[in-house]
Amino acid sequence: MAPVVTPLTLLIGMTCTVLFVQPTLGDAARAQVREGVRADWVVASQGPGVPADAARQLRTRRHDVVTEVVRTTVRVGLAKYAAQGVTPAGLTRTWDPDVTAGSLRGLTERTAAVSELAADQLHLKPGSTLKLTLGDGTPRTLTVVAVYARGLGFGDLTFAHDLVARHVDNPLASSVLVSTTRTQTQLATTLREFPGVQVLAPADADSLQARRQQANAEVDYLTMGLVLAFTAIAVVNTLAMSVAERVREFALLRLAGATRRQVLRMLRAEALSVLLLATALGSGIALAVLTAFSVGMTGRAAPSVEPLLYLTVIAVAGTLALVATALPGRVALRVRAVTVATARQ
């Protein structure tokens, strides 16, 4: 049974791991964003970004705080890190990355804040010097002023908005966080001259981000589907060969009085037992991997598993097992039992 169970276990374990790694990471990241966004409203765009003029119009009221967020990637040595630029003024009213060391009050164009993961990898702490290369290839040397815990949701490196905006291809803000007493309708009226720009509640912005992550994940699924397809082929081949090698056994059963239907029923029962064992082993392996991944990336053992998708994986694996068993079994049973027994003697 081991040669048959092993590839099916591998198929279930690999598929579940591939499918649920991205949701685990995405859910943890969005959870950190939900906890860290203090703004009353989030301004987003259906196009490439929110124009700087829109942010300037939102700053017409004295006590309102408007934080522009622009995304980029930077290099520290050969390593690439997700980074962002944020407006430093009034930042703590709209944005809370859970600072564990230092303070965001010192964030300027000459300083930076780093996540705990980046700080651990690069051996940084408040007061350390950080040498990096910005998005357009410009080298900069900055001083670390803060270390924060919510790097999964907010990126590993944070700089002043103006520093990042001058060194990226797209300087438009991916989002604008607004802390204000104005209503959603009032903000929408202020931004009516900017098509595609919408004012969202933080919960609605989170739902929008979830849909975008799902769209990006589909590309990863397509890539990994090729690997899983080869694994599925290996499963089918192994099951088919294991059945084909048992022609003499089937002949002896038929000579002892078993009918073809009874032999096929036996094969189906064996296939289901193999499926149950492989499901238990594969699911356990995937759960262990996902739990370790969740603990390593988020600090919590909280893997995200979608029940419907999981059941689909088991159904596909079961279909492969039954088909790869039943078809070779029917072919093997077409040969007369006496002929097989005589040929083997």
Percent of the chain surpassing pLDDT 70: 91
Answer yes or no: is 71 within a domain.
yes
| Domain end residue (candidates: 145, 161, 195) | 195
Residue 183 and residue 237 share a domain? no
53 lies in the same domain as 190 = yes
Q: Using CA atoms, how far apart are residues 136 and 76, in angstroms rounded to an integer?
A: 14
pTM of the model: 0.71
Higher pLDDT, 302 or 155: 155
Tell me the pLDDT tens digit for each residue of 297-329: 777 777 888 888 899 889 988 888 888 888 887
Residue 222 burial (CB count, 10 A): 9
Residues 84 and 190 in one domain: yes
pLDDT of residue 143: 95
Q: Are residues 180 and 243 in the same domain?
A: no
3-class DSSP state for residue 145?
Answer: strand
Q: Examine residue 186 and state whether it is found in any structural domain, yes or no.
A: yes
The pLDDT score that the predictor gives to residue 252 is: 79
Are 114 and 243 members of one domain?
no
Strand, coil or helix: 218: helix
**Assigned domain for 87 exists:** yes
Q: What was the pLDDT predicted at 341?
A: 54
Q: What is the pLDDT of residue 280?
A: 94
- pLDDT at residue 56 greater than cutoff 80: yes
> Do 331 and 273 belong to one domain?
yes
Angle between helices 247-255 and 260-298 (to 10 degrees): 140
Query: Is 217 in the same domain as 186?
Result: no
pLDDT of residue 216: 56
153 vs 128, which has greater pLDDT? Answer: 128
> Tell me, what's the pLDDT at 19?
84
What's the half-sphere exposure (Cβ side, CA atoms, 13 Å) at 322? 11
Per DSSP, the residues of 193-227 read: TSTTEEEE-HHHHHHHHHHHHHHHHHHHHHHHHHH
Element (H, E) at 152: helix 151-154
User: In this predicted structure, what is the pLDDT of residue 224?
Assistant: 67
Range of the domain at 221: 2-28+212-344
Round to whole Å and give the CA distance between 94 and 42. 10
Asked if the model's pLDDT at residue 344 lies above 60, the reply is: no
- In the predicted model, what is the mean pLDDT of residues 35-47? 87
Residue 141's pLDDT is: 94
Q: What is the pLDDT of residue 243?
A: 78
Least confident of 37-41, 121-125, 241-245: 241-245
Q: What is the pLDDT of residue 343?
A: 56
Percent of the chain with pLDDT over 90: 28
Residue 220 lies in a domain: yes
| Residue 48 clears pLDDT 70, i.e. is over it | yes
Model pLDDT, residue 113: 95
Distance (Å, whole) CA 93 – CA 58: 15
Q: Are residues 67 and 128 in the same domain?
A: yes
Closest CA to 82 of 164, 166, 176, 204: 164
Q: What is the pLDDT of residues 214-228, one digit of tens each?
A: 555 555 666 667 767
Is residue 204 domain-resident? no
List residues bridging with 146 in a β-sheet.
Answer: 102, 113
More confident residue, 339 or 205: 205
Please count the structural domains in the chain: 2
Last residue of a domain, one of 195, 229, 254: 195
Confidence of residue 287 (pLDDT cuts 50, 70, 90): very high
153-165 average pLDDT score: 91
Domain boundary among 170, 195, 220: 195
Mark whether 176 and 283 lie in a shared domain.
no
Does any domain span residue 202?
no
Do residues 82 and 125 both lie within one domain? yes
- One domain, residues 181 and 236: no
> Is residue 36 in a domain?
no
- Which segment of 27-41, 68-82, 158-172, 270-284 scores lowest on mean pLDDT? 27-41
Contacts of 224 (CB under 8 A, 6+ apart): 18
Would you state the pLDDT for residue 330?
80
For residues 266-273, average pLDDT: 87
Residue 42: inside a domain? no
60 and 128 within one domain: yes
pLDDT tens by residue, 101-149: 999 999 999 999 999 989 999 999 999 999 999 988 899 999 999 999 9
> What is the average per-residue pLDDT within 234-261?
80
